[in-house]
Structures are given as C-alpha cells and as structure tokens.
C-alpha cells in the first residue's frame, strides 16, 4: 500500500504513520518527494489488519494499493527519477554517465594505463573486475583483493570513482571497503542471498540484468535490494540470450523505454557484453543513448589482444576516445549533457 501524505504534512504526522505501519506488522519506507511525502507499507498482507484504517490518521491524504509486484522500484510510488550521487557524480540526472575500463584488473600497468586513457577521453567512472564470474573454472578468476587495491590506486591517480563486481556475500565487506559502486553481475541477478545482503549496505549497487531475466524479474531483483533498506540501485541492461549467434547476446534496447515507464531507478546500458565484438559497441552505444539510457558501461583495454578476459569486445583507448566524440550529437539530440 502507498500512504500518500497531505502536502505540508508535519514530521510528527509522518513519524506517527510510519510507527503505526510497523505496529500493524509491515515495513514503512518513507519517500520524500518534491510535491509530497509518501510512505510505502510493504510486507506479507496475510492475516494482518488492513492498512486502509490509516486513512483516518492526521496528515494522511490517501491510502492506495501498489498494483505492481515490485513496489519500491515502481514508478507508482515515486514519480520523479531517482538520482544516485557517487563522489559528486550524478547518475540518473541530465548528464549521460560513462563507466569504462577493462573487463578484469590484470596488472598495475594495464589498469593505470587504461584508467588514464578513459579519464582523458571523458569517462566518469572506472570499471574493472577483481572477482570474475567465468564460465570455466580454469579461466582467470581475478586478482581479488590485490585487484581491489590496484583499483583504489587507479582512483587516486585519476580521481575517477570505481565500480567493481562482488559475487559472494562473504566478500561484500571486503569489496565495499574499496569500491564506490558494487556491481552484481548478470549471473547473480537472482542470487537472492547476495541481493538481500547488499540491501543492508549503504553503497550504490549496479544490478545487471541476467541473460535469461524478464524485465519483471529484473525489477523484482532490484526490489530484493531495496526492501532491505538500500534504495540506491542502478539497473544495467547487458544483453539477453536469444537464438542469434552473430552477437554474444542480443541488446534489448526496448527495455530502456519499458524500464523508464515502470521504474524511477537509473538505467545504464552495457553494449560490450551485449554484442561481444568491439566493432558493434559504438553503434549500440549510440542507439542506447538515442533510446534514453542514463549512461553506458564500456570495456576498454590498453591492449585487447593480450586481455585475460573479454578482449574481443574491448575497445582500444583511441577507439573509445573516438566513440566519446561521436556520442556528443546523440546526447545533444535527446536533450542530455
């Protein structure tokens, strides 16, 4: 249920309603909006008193059901877009945010060289995996904490905030110590134990859509994080599996307007994992901007031929710099910065 507070409801009235919601056995989530405050009361409704009774409380304008299965992620409860600020960078605002860097952190030279290059080309955030979800257990699994240390060194050198993947609940503390944004990879989109654990952290989470995940399931996964208290979720479309084999996955561009309608959360598109080939990254990055993404995640490697993972889809720094230039008219055309 959504408890819509009257315009100008006092703090005391808001607190009283939240307290009452808790007494009735639900969890209150207060959302302060520009126009008015709303309180989402979420929880299993079976065998509990009806929330409709809250209508008689001071400061309450209306009590309405949330019709979507995802509640906190839904645009029903929050009309305006959520903006997530990371070290002063606003994700989900006017500016299109570009996260770039290697698939894996491999060495100091590789990371620092790539980090400097993406910064120079105008990237906002540095990406790089220290814990890698590889299909084969015999493939490079990541440098783990050594990789995280290199990422924080690269942050010091470039000033770029860092995003990196966490795969296992037991590593969350460690990764959160270094990262500015925690990434949940496509393969873990329905690792509910991990999602619930991340919901208890105060760090933004970039949640990648799984290769076999519907938009509804994707939003339900975001809901797992949000229902635990962490409202800073960024959604990332990275391609879904279809019958097509010419590309690694199929970039579901239409999910951008669908997500925009369904949720207030920021949307990022990753054309690198979506296509699997560096030549297709630039056209799909432009298409994603045209379709309304809030940002892009792009793999860049100082020497893709020697990359430990995802070399074929990684852009060389010069190609990335060219793409950043070529994106400008697309960004302007959609009225973004």
Binding mask 17-56 for ligand PEP (x = CB under 6 A): ----------------------------------------
Q: Min. distance of Cβ 127 from ligand PEP in angstroms?
A: 7
Q: Which two tokens stand for residue 69?
A: 């299965």
By CB under 6 A, tell whether 129 contacts ligand PEP: yes
Give the C-alpha separation, 247 to 273, whole Å.
Answer: 9
Among 20, 119, 155, 208, binds ligand PEP (CB under 6 A): 208
Q: In Å, how far from its chain's centre is CA 257?
A: 16
3-state secondary structure 85-103: EECCEEECCCCCEEEEECC
Q: What is the DSSP string of 198-267?
A: HTTSSS-EEEEPPTT--HHHHHHHHHHHHHTT---EEEEE--B--S--SSSSB--TTHHHHHHHHB-S-E
Among 185, 199, 271, 317, binds ligand PEP (CB under 6 A): 185
| Residue 122 binding result from Mn ion, ligand PEP, none, given CB thresholds of 5 to 8 Å by partner type | none
Q: Select 187 or 316, whichever has its Cβ closest to ligand PEP.
A: 187
Binding mask 134-173 for ligand PEP (x = CB under 6 A): ----------------------------------------
Q: Find the binding residues for ligand PEP in span 221-280 (CB under 6 A).
A: 238, 273
Residue 296 and residue 258 in contact, taking contact as beta carbons nearer than 8 Å: no
Residue 281 and residue 323 in contact, taking contact as beta carbons nearer than 8 Å: yes
CA distance readout (Å), 264 to 58, 124, 145, 215: 28, 22, 34, 14
Q: Min. distance of Cβ 249 from ligand PEP in angstroms?
A: 8
Among 17, 72, 103, 179, binds Mn ion (CB under 5 A): 103
By CB under 5 A, tell whether 310 contacts Mn ion: yes
Give the H or E element holding residue 193.
helix 192-198
By CB under 6 A, tell whether 133 contacts ligand PEP: yes
Residue 164 and residue 127 in contact, taking contact as beta carbons nearer than 8 Å: yes
Q: What is the DSSP string of 92-143?
A: TSSSPEEEEE-SB---HHHHHHHHHHHHHHT-SEEE-BSS---SSTTS----
| Residue 186 binding result from ligand PEP, Mn ion, none, given CB thresholds of 5 to 8 Å by partner type | ligand PEP
Q: Min. distance of Cβ 174 from ligand PEP in angstroms?
A: 18
Q: Total residues at the site for ligand PEP (CB under 6 A)?
A: 9
By CB under 6 A, tell whether 284 contacts ligand PEP: no
Give the C-alpha separation, 308 to 43, whole Å.
Answer: 45
| Residue 199 binding result from ligand PEP, Mn ion, none, given CB thresholds of 5 to 8 Å by partner type | none
Q: Min. distance of Cβ 5 from ligand PEP in angstroms?
A: 39
By CB under 6 A, name the binding residues for ligand PEP.
Answer: 103, 129, 133, 185-187, 208, 238, 273
């Amino acid at each position: 249920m959504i408890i819509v507070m009257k315009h100008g409801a006092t703090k005391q009235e808001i607190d009283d309603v939240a307290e009452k919601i808790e007494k009735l056995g639900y969890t209150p989530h207060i959302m302060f909006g520009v126009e008015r405050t709303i309180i989402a009361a979420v929880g299993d409704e079976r065998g509990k008193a009806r929330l409709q009774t809250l209508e008689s409380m001071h400061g309450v304008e209306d009590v309405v059901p949330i019709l979507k299965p995802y509640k906190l992620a839904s645009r029903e409860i929050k009309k305006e877009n959520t903006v997530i600020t990371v070290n002063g960078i606003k994700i989900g605002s006017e500016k299109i945010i570009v996260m770039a860097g290697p698939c894996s952190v491999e060495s100091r030279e590789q990371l620092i060289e790539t980090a400097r290059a993406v910064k120079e080309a105008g990237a906002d955030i540095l990406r790089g995996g220290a814990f890698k979800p590889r299909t084969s257990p015999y493939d490079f699994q990541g440098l783990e904490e050594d990789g995280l240390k290199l990422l924080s060194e690269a942050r010091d050198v470039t000033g770029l905030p860092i995003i990196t993947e966490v795969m296992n609940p037991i590593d969350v503390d460690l990764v959160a110590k270094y990262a500015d944004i925690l990434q949940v990879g496509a393969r873990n989109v329905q690792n509910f134990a991990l999602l619930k654990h991340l919901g208890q952290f105060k760090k933004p989470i970039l949640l990648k859509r799984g290769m076999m995940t519907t938009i509804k399931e994707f939003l339900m996964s975001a809901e797992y994080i949000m229902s635990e208290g962490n409202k800073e979720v960024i959604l990332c479309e990275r391609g879904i599996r279809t019958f097509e084999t010419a590309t690694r996955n199929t970039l579901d561009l239409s999910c951008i307007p669908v997500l925009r309608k369904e949720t207030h959360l920021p949307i990022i598109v990753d054309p690198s994992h979506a296509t699997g080939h560096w030549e297709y990254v630039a056209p799909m990055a432009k298409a994603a901007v045209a379709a309304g993404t809030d940002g892009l995640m792009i793999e860049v490697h100082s020497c893709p031929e020697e990359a430990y993972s995802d070399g074929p889809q990684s852009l060389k720094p010069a190609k990335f710099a060219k793409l950043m230039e070529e994106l400008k008219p697309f960004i302007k055309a959609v009225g973004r910065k």
